[in-house]
């Protein structure tokens, strides 16, 4: 699996608290089948994460992971909050892009429906493509899923996250996540992992559930082929 939404970098947002936390979470992700993680620290008013600092943390963590013998590749992008996606400078957004041309934009529970078109236009002007994170948690999307249809026709991608599928964020988010998957409105599945002890288990359980419900080929597209295209990671050697 290629994980395109994860808060693995230590002591930078609400994710891993320290190096020990990050190493423990990295091991859990590998146990769940993850081979590459795109670290996506928050870029928001609450967490105005400096991208230079994030790069430094990434290199330090890469060294720790290599020394520990954990077979996990690392990349760097960001999870951009709605307000920040609208207000940040083009340079700030471009340097936080995912792979060769995508931007991970968060849909929060109270994000209004009109933000989707605004984000599409802003990100298109930067010659990037929106990846909308956890739309199942957004009330506007739950009540008007056609919002995603028009966004995807315009080239955007959607990404559900494992804890929604396992019910960690409640039945409403779980029902919405499964409805989006069943209706073919989902392009990527990610962990949104923050801490060890539970997040690896949620990912493993979500992968099992998706494989059982949609089949192994659909799971492969959601977790390997689709994320690989977005992150610019070659297919796993077979």
Of 76-80, 169-173, 234-238, give the lowest mean pLDDT range. Answer: 234-238
Please determine, for residue 61, whether its predicted confidence score (pLDDT) is greater than 90.
yes
Mean pLDDT over 172-191 rounds to 97
Output the pLDDT for position 10. 98
Mean pLDDT over 206-227 rounds to 98
Q: What pLDDT, in 10s, does the model give residues 18-37?
A: 999 999 999 999 999 999 99
pLDDT band at 90 (very low <50, low <70, confident <90, very high): very high
Q: What pLDDT, in 10s, does the model give residues 186-197?
A: 999 999 999 998
Please determine, for residue 15, whether its predicted confidence score (pLDDT) is greater than 50.
yes
Please determine, for residue 238, whether its predicted confidence score (pLDDT) is greater than 50.
no
Output the pLDDT for position 151. 96
Q: Which helix (H) or strand (E) holds 198?
A: none
Mean pLDDT over 222-226 rounds to 97
This prediction's pTM: 0.97
Is 167 within 8 Å of 201 (Cβ atoms)?
Answer: no
Q: Smallest Cα–Cα separation from 223: which of 197, 105, 209?
A: 209
In the chain the domains, ranked by start, together with CATH numbers, are 2-231 (3.20.20.140)
CB atoms inside a 10 Å sphere around CB 57: 22
Please determine, for residue 51, whether its predicted confidence score (pLDDT) is greater than 70.
yes
Mean pLDDT over 41-49 rounds to 97
Please determine, for residue 148, whether its predicted confidence score (pLDDT) is greater than 90.
yes
CB atoms inside a 10 Å sphere around CB 199: 25
Output the pLDDT for position 237. 55
Mean pLDDT of the chain: 96
Phi, psi of 92 (to 5 degrees): -65, -40
% of the chain residues with pLDDT over 90: 97
pLDDT band at 236 (very low <50, low <70, confident <90, very high): confident
Output the pLDDT for position 234. 87
Q: What pLDDT, in 10s, does the model give residues 94-141?
A: 999 999 799 999 999 999 999 999 999 999 999 999 999 999 999 999
Output the pLDDT for position 211. 98
Q: What pLDDT, in 10s, does the model give residues 1-13?
A: 999 999 999 999 9
Provide the total of helices (H) and of strands (E) in the chain, helices listed first: 12, 9
Specify the residue for token string 């999870």.
79
């Amino acid at each position: 699996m290629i994980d395109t939404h994860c808060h693995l970098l230590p002591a930078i947002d609400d994710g891993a608290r320290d190096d020990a936390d990050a190493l423990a979470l990295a091991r859990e992700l590998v146990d769940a089948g993850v081979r590459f993680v795109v670290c996506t620290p928050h870029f928001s008013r609450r967490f105005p994460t400096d991208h230079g600092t994030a790069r430094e943390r990434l290199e330090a963590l890469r060294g720790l992971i290599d020394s520990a013998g954990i077979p996990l590749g690392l990349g760097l992008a960001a999870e951009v909050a709605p307000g920040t996606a609208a207000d940040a400078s083009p340079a700030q957004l471009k340097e936080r892009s995912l792979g060769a041309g995508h931007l991970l934009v968060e849909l929060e529970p109270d994000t209004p429906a009109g933000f989707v078109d605004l984000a599409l236009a802003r990100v298109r002007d930067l010659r990037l493509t929106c990846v909308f994170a956890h739309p199942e948690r957004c009330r506007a999307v739950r009540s008007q899923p056609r919002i995603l249809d028009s966004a995807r026709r315009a080239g955007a991608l959607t990404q559900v996250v494992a804890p929604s599928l396992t019910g960690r964020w409640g039945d409403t988010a779980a029902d919405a996540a499964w409805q989006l998957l069943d209706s073919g409105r989902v392009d990527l599945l990610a962990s949104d992992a923050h801490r060890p002890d539970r997040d690896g288990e949620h990912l493993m359980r979500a992968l099992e559930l998706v494989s059982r419900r949609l089949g192994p080929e659909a799971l492969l597209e959601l977790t390997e082929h689709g994320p690989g295209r977005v992150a610019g990671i070659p297919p796993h050697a077979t």
